[in-house]
């Protein structure tokens, strides 16, 4: 006798079937709606782990790309600023080349000095370039103006208030890139490359090491002229106005009617009616001056040796007497921490000789001192002004090279940053593609599965409705 299923078991069977098919349809519909193949970790544990790993990688790549996006405008702004600075210094170089030809009159030189001052101000403005609220040449002290211009009378100075730090940004896994070059490196004075003299006095470096920074000035003082000129000549005011130092040969050539000091230009002996007869100035080949009184001139020739006694100082206060056979005389300026060891054997004239610690002079000091030289505040002779400008020109070249080097560094960093941005973009797209392969559905396949689930559910519903019909006739059957 066949066993007849109970009504309860039939209902339970139909219910389980419908629930199962409803769940399959709902799952298929959810996948179609979200477009995702993995809706819960339980759907695919391995796929979920891979997806989480790739999402973490995408997050890191996004942070690197944000760094690139932030850093690129800063580097481009810095590069543009240095390109402008290069143009400004090219203008200054042209002016100095003109000033070195020696053909300018004092008025022209003073006007050029004013131009150099304007160039200095423009360069300070460039050095204070900012993007947003960030000063690009301040190191990591980006909130404050790095270069401060100040004036005291004719003295102009620029102070750096930034720091020496470099800010690095991450542009890849374990890869960093410097976002800036501190202003002290580009516009400052990093190292002494050598020591140069303007050449006014004939001084040279001694045997011991010297130290200093920027510019210094040695004051060679004429303390008196020793000896007696021949041919009845006399020293004017006892030699008080002379600038000779060490031994000099004075030659009176009666036959040629000339007077010569060392290898300087021979001059015609003055006549009693000449206005300079009692104060005749003769110069040697270095510009050292000797003042002669021809009142007692005998008309005969002679050769005499005259010696200029002198002393030297670096700070303008302490003067050391010179014997002109020193090869390592030490001069000190404690206030500026400058020590010079000097060879005095070639010194032949008094005056102020400029000293440059090559490579250790910042560009602002170069321009400020050049403007001061051109204004000739110290009353120097024209050829001495030219010698000073030549000294400044050498320092200008050192600083120009530093700006070009900084420009090259920033340009290389910008190129690398752009390259890294492109690489990160490609890598991010690749990882997103791999993530899509793990997470995203095959829409055609899933729609087909959803349609199949709908049809299966419909069949289950139809079958269930027939199984659970409740009429008396169905029960008797």
Q: Which one, of 164, 35, 128, 89, lies nearest residue 438 by Cα?
A: 35
Residues of the chain with CATH 1.20.1330.10: 53-188+395-426
The predicted structure's pLDDT at residue 49: 77
Q: Are 226 and 309 in contact (CB under 8 A)?
A: yes
Q: In angstroms, rounded to a whole number, what is the distance separating the alpha carbons of residues 238 and 225?
A: 7
Confidence bin at 296 (pLDDT 50/70/90): very high
pLDDT for res 135:
93
Single pTM value for the model: 0.62
Q: What angle do CA 407, 408, 414 make, to 5 degrees?
A: 90
Would strands 289-293 and 302-313 be described as parallel, antiparallel, or unpaired? unpaired
pLDDT of 358 reads 65
Q: What phi and psi, each to the nearest 5 degrees, are found at residue 278?
A: -95, -5
Provide the residue count of the chain: 477
Give SS3 for 368.
helix
Buried b (16+ CB within 10 A) or exposed e, 218-257: bbbbbbebeeebbbbbbbbeebeebbbbbebebbbeeeee
The winner for highest mean pLDDT among 206-210, 223-227, 337-341 is: 223-227
Please give the Cα distance from 222 to 219 (Å, whole number). Answer: 10
pLDDT computed for residue 192 by the predictor: 56
pLDDT of residue 458: 64
Which of 150-154, 211-215, 251-255, 262-266 is least confident?
A: 150-154
CA dist 162 → 111, 137, 282 (Å): 33, 8, 53
- CATH architecture, range 53-188+395-426: Up-down Bundle (1.20)
């Amino acid at each position: 006798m066949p066993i007849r299923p109970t009504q309860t078991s039939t209902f339970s069977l139909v219910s389980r079937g419908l629930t199962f098919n409803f769940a399959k349809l709902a799952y298929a519909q959810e996948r179609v709606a979200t477009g995702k193949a993995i809706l819960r970790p339980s759907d695919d544990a391995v796929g979920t782990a891979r997806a989480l790993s790739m999402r973490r990688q995408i997050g890191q790549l996004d942070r690197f790309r944000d760094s690139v996006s932030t850093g690129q405008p800063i580097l481009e702004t810095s590069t543009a600023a240095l390109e402008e600075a290069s143009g400004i210094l090219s203008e200054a170089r042209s002016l100095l080349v003109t000033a070195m030809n020696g053909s300018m009159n004092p008025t022209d030189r003073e006007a050029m000095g004013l131009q150099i001052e304007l160039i200095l101000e423009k360069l300070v403005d460039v050095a204070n370039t900012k993007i947003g609220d960030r000063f690009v040449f301040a190191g990591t002290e980006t909130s404050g103006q790095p270069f401060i211009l100040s004036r005291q009378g004719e003295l102009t100075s620029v102070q750096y208030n930034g720091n020496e730090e470099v800010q690095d940004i991450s542009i890849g896994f374990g890869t960093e890139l410097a976002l800036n070059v501190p202003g002290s490196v580009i516009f400052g004075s990093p190292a002494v490359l050598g020591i140069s003299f303007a050449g006014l006095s004939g001084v040279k470096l001694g045997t011991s090491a010297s130290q200093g920074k920027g510019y210094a000035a040695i004051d060679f003082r004429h303390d008196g002229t020793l000896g007696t000129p021949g041919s009845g000549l006399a020293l004017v005011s006892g030699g008080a106005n002379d600038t000779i130092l060490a031994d000099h040969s004075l030659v009176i050539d009666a036959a040629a009617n000339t007077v010569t000091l060392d290898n300087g230009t021979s001059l015609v002996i003055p006549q009693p009616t000449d206005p300079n007869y009692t104060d005749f100035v003769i110069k040697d080949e270095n510009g050292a001056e000797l003042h002669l009184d021809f009142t007692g001139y005998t008309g005969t020739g002679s050769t005499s040796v005259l010696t200029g006694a002198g002393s030297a100082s670096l700070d303008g206060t302490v003067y050391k007497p010179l014997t002109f056979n020193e090869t390592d005389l030490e001069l000190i300026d404690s206030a500026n921490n400058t020590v010079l060891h000097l060879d005095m054997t070639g010194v032949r004239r008094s005056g102020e000789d400029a000293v440059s610690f090559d490579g250790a002079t910042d560009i602002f000091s170069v321009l400020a001192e050049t403007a001061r030289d051109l204004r000739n505040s110290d009353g120097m002779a024209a050829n001495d002004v030219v010698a000073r400008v030549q000294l400044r020109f050498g320092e200008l070249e050192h600083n120009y090279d530093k700006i070009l080097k900084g420009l090259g560094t920033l340009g290389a960093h910008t190129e690398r940053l752009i390259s890294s941005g492109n690489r990160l973009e490609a890598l991010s797209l690749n990882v997103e593609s791999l993530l899509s392969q793990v997470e995203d559905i095959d829409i055609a396949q899933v729609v087909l599965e959803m349609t199949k689930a709908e049809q299966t559910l419909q069949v289950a519903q139809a079958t269930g409705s027939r199984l659970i019909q409740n009429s008396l006739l169905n029960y008797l059957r």
